[in-house]
Chain A
Amino acid sequence: MSKSIAIKAIRGAHKIVTRAENELTKALKEKGPDARVEFPNTAYFLPISYGLLGMKIETLGGLTNLLEEAKKLLPPLPSETLNLPYLGHTLDAGMATLFADEIIEVIKYTREKLPYNTGTEPQNGNIWLGAANDVILRERGIEFVDGTAPGFAACVGYCPTNETAVKIARELQEKNLYVFLAAGTNGKSMAQQLQEEGIELGWKTRLVPFGDDVTACIHALGFATRAALSFGGAKPGNFREILKYNKDRIFAFILAFGPVDDEKFAQAAGAINFGFPTIADTDIDQILPTGICTYEHVVSPVLHDKIVSKAIEIRGLKITISSVPIPVPFGPAFQGERVRKEDLYVELGGQANPGFEYLYTKNLDEVEDAKIEIIGPEIDDIKEGSQIPIGIIAEVAGRNMQVDFEPILERQFHDFLNAAHGLMHVGQRDVNWIRISKEAKNAGFKFSHFGSILHAKLHHEYGKIFDKIQIRIYTEREQVLKLLDAARKAYVQRDERLAGLTDEAVDTFYSCALCQSFAPNHICIITPERSGLCGAYNWLDGKAAYEMNPSGPNQPVKKAKVIDAVKGQWQEVNDFVYLNSHKTLEIFNTYSIVEYPMTSCGCFECISCILPSTNGIMTVYREFPGMTPVGMKFSTLAGTVGGGLQTPGFIGHSKHYIGSNKFVSAEGGAKRIVWMNKDLKEMSRDILEKIGKKEGITDFYNMIADETIATTEEEVQEFLSKVSHPVLTMPAMF
């Protein structure tokens, strides 16, 4: 941040504190220290001083203490020659400003002529409403808590034209945000601009004019503070709790229009304490580095048509879309619907035409949220019964977006598009096929609605991962073919990257505690080369789930402080497992079946266990009902292994894990397998043949016994000698 912005904010704070002191002195002289001061109908005293300092001010005399607090916080003006860190000082100056604001504003209520009307909307020509009472707080505040209103935009100054003011107010309303209007400049304000245009102001329309004075900004922050006290259960005086509640829960920001003077800079500095950034349309100094706010603190200059989306991005506000704006019914009940040829209006992609769908990441400034373009004919330009090519490109951007999430988001196209009534979607990537029924077409369904569906549903379900998405739909052959080539190259790269992902290549594993509801002491550690034992969750899923829900059942586990690289033991992983198994497991080896193996919930696809006399292991699939050479059926084995018990010699795992390079790698890997049930063996044929090839074992597949060859350990042993299974020459397992 630059020194000049600090100077301006601190200078502004000095001006406002001095003004507060003058007004207080004057009021004390006129009315005496025992004169009552209050905002009407509130149980929260003066909310800023009550919330942040725990002060219960009820008299003019009490304001003297608050003024002292403001003065204490007020830093000296930064010297012109000496460079010091300014952010701390700027924040203190901001806080002092807020205290002074509150003094100035509450004194207004002691005057005979109150500058505000105390209703919920403008009356008798007075548009300014001042502090909100507790009835409004309870009625409106709950909307901030239940997410109906994600937050508010405090607009200060005035827009260059009334038209711009209306446009911006409308845009904010569309995002369900409250618009708090305060602090005009030179007698002009955005609230007046809206009124001149006949826009209805007041709490009902969410366009709330607080006051023309710069200090009226305090009513927005006062409202936010009371929300933290009443809905957040924060204790008065616990300023940390109140500020954090606001930063985490109330998605508010300040939009500054027109010139920003020292006093307004001081207000912005105060808002930063709450985690509320300022976005300005004029070229003012910026405060970019992140620290207090989620992202930047002060950003400028931003064009008027971009200012709302920029503010939303900077505040980290996630837009939720509750309904899918399409003319046909939408819901999971319509998934799996086949549009029959009889009912068909148009067919896209499929066997007759090229088609693809492709989602990738772009920079935030390259993506305009909800922009949907059709390149080529729209459905109305096409004759009934046509077959045409289709390309769907989705470009997403977000501060949390990662390339690894692209396939996860792209995979959802199928489910989402399929959920529209009259729309059939089959396949994915470059094997996709869409049919639209005559009924859907007659109801007004357009190709552009593919975009509407993807925009709404992806935001709804994956909004934590990305912030913006724009969609282009290609229906013109040349274009589709050209882009198809590029998409195919990307698919190949993507697959190679994922196939090449090894445990060594990452520094973080993910835990999975989804099953703790019925196996309370079990915790899964998912690594790139060891998927969850249920087979449902892989490392990328865990990573994406964590991004979406940082306090959810998938947590990052640092792979740090190596204890045994071969067995796969790390101190930090041990610590995590100890804590999250409720102190039942102290040590955990990722790659061993013999020593401290990973525990299981009970969802495992397969169980492997040692057949002691064979020097190898057997693996059985959960659908195999018969007896195994270890003398137990799957169900009995499951009892031994499940429920979070660490049983040396036994592990539960996914089918996929058999093919991993890390499958019991501490004991020599998959070539230890001496018996599998026949179905599993068959399902794993390719994997086993690959392992054989890698290990230089000819015909490994046929060296593994199954229930048609051996049902007891002795029979397995006999068979192993007959086929010279590699375990015969391997070191003893234990």
Chain B
Amino acid sequence: MKTIAISGKGGTGKSTLAAMMIYWLKENISKSILAVDADCNVNLNELLGVELKTTIGTIREEMKAKVNDLPGGMTKQQYLDYKIQSGLVETPDFDLIAMGCSEGPGCYCYANSLLRDILATLARNYEFMVVDNGAGMEHLSRRTTQNIDYLIMVSDPIVRGIKAAGKISRLVKDLETRVNEKYLVLSRVKDPIHPSVIECIRVEGLQLIGTIPEDNTLLASDHQGNAIWPVIKDSYAFKELDKIMVKLNVRIV
């Protein structure tokens, strides 16, 4: 199983990139894909054109609410497992699970440690896991996601965005999360990239793997609140993504 995690600050087209990657994988390599929407501001499902049944956050709250009132004789592990397995959105091209919003007050250590185990076991069933991370990387820092093969940091072609990507890159280094390869993708590129951006990428020590142009087909779809899934294939952006994926050389082991 290969894990691709995508992160970056809000509004940079992270989820669009995630959706395109899922599309690319299913077209080119395998449909055994677990898509994980780990952004608190859940929207990957809308881009992919599917409806969510529930989120992990909701399941976790439910469990906490009836911690001593679980169905007869069930352990918390079993309960969570059941709920998560049945909360999965299944499509012919991929399966999707959403993490949901961050935690309320109180201790989540126990619930999160159970979640880690269950998600790790679930993920083993797929050839690819594509994680659309929140800007704050909370799931990375809580280690609910582990062992990332490719971390893709997404940024607009502006200095502030590159700096944010640099921060994520450093955070990952400090955490125990194992990341094999890290790359930067510039998205929503309209004009030639400003030299100060290039310089910032160098200073932050990031490796640029490709750029995704602003794509009006995708934007229009998104603006109208429609799923971009059906229009990905013919979009200009997807052609650029293809180049990135070829460079990434994603393979099933």
Contact = CB atoms under 8 A, between A and B. Distances in A.
Given A623-B109, A678-B107, A338 B73 contact: no
Contacts of B71: 429-431
A427 B86 CA distance: 11
Interface in A333-356: 336-338, 340-342, 350-351
B81 A340 contact: no
Interface stretch (A214-222, A275-283, A679-687): A679-687
Contacts of A683: 107, 110
Classify the interface of chain B: helix, strand, loop or mixed: loop
A351 B84 CA distance: 12
Interface in B43-99: 67-68, 71-74, 78, 81-82, 85-86, 90-92, 95
A430 B72 contact: yes
Contacts of B233: none
Contacts of A430: 71-72
A535 interface: no
Contact of A338 (B82, B109, B125): B125
A495 B32 contact: no
Interface string A229-253: 0000000000000000000000000
A491 interface: yes
Interface in A542-595: none
A424 B73 CA distance: 20
Contact of A341 (B86, B90, B106, B109): B90
B124 interface: yes
B73 A337 contact: no
Contact of A340 (B72, B86, B90, B109): B90
A431 B74 CA distance: 9
A50 to B, nearest CB: 57
Contact of A351 (B67, B86, B122): B86
B109 A337 contact: no
B107 A682 contact: yes
Contacts of B2: none
A263 to B, nearest CB: 58
A424 B122 CA distance: 11
A259 interface: no
A679 B90 CA distance: 36
Contacts of B121: 336
A430 B82 CA distance: 12
A690 to B, nearest CB: 9
Interface in A246-303: none
Contact of B31 (A342, A351, A427, A492): A342
Given A623-B109, A682-B106, A686-B67, A427 B74 contact: yes
A708 to B, nearest CB: 12
B73 A679 contact: no
Give the interface centre of A341, A414, A427, A491 by most chain B CB atoms within 10 Å.
Answer: A427
A428 B107 contact: no
Contact of A414 (B31, B78, B86, B122): B78
A686 B67 CA distance: 8
A686 to B, nearest CB: 5
A491 B73 contact: yes
A426 B85 contact: yes
B31 A426 contact: no
Contacts of B107: 678-679, 682-683
B73 A426 contact: no
Nearest to A411: B73
A81 B91 CA distance: 87
Nearest to A336: B121
Interface size class of A (residues with CB under 8 A): 20 to 34
Nearest to A343: B32
Nearest to A659: B68
A433 B86 contact: yes
A679 B113 CA distance: 13
A201 B115 CA distance: 60
A433 B82 contact: yes
A407 interface: yes
Contact of B73 (A351, A433, A495, A623): A495
A414 B85 CA distance: 14
Give the interface centre of B72, B82, B92, B125 by most chain A CB atoms within 10 Å.
Answer: B72
A342 B92 contact: yes
Interface in A427-455: 427-431, 433
Contact of B125 (A340, A488, A623, A682): A340
Interface string B200-214: 000000000000000
Contacts of A679: 107, 109-110
Interface in B114-155: 121-122, 124-125
Interface string A482-494: 0000001001101
Contacts of B92: 341-342
Interface string A661-690: 000000000000000001100110010000
Contacts of A431: 71, 74, 82
Contacts of B124: 336
B103 to A, nearest CB: 12
Interface in B22-56: 31-32
Contacts of A411: 73
A430 B81 CA distance: 15
Given A340-B95, A491-B73, A433 B85 contact: yes
Contact of B82 (A407, A427, A488): A427
B122 A428 contact: no
A491 B95 CA distance: 34
Contacts of A433: 82, 85-86
Nearest to B122: A338
A426 B90 contact: no
Nearest to B32: A340
Contacts of A429: 71-74
Give the interface centre of A341, A350, A424, A492 by most chain B CB atoms within 10 Å.
Answer: A341
A705 to B, nearest CB: 16
A351 B82 CA distance: 10
Contacts of B125: 336-338, 340
Contacts of A350: 86
A426 B81 contact: yes
A492 B68 contact: no
Contacts of B81: 426-427
A428 B73 contact: yes
Given A407-B73, A427-B82, A429-B74, A686 B68 contact: yes
Nearest to A679: B107
A733 to B, nearest CB: 29
Contacts of A424: 85
20 contacts: A340-B32, A341-B91, A350-B86, A351-B86, A407-B73, A414-B78, A424-B85, A426-B81, A426-B82, A427-B74, A428-B73, A430-B72, A431-B71, A433-B82, A433-B86, A491-B72, A678-B107, A682-B106, A686-B67, A686-B68
Interface of B: 31-32, 67-68, 71-74, 78, 81-82, 85-86, 90-92, 95, 106-107, 109-110, 121-122, 124-125
Given A341-B92, A341-B95, A433-B82, 7 more contacts: A336-B121, A340-B125, A351-B86, A411-B73, A427-B81, A427-B82, A429-B72
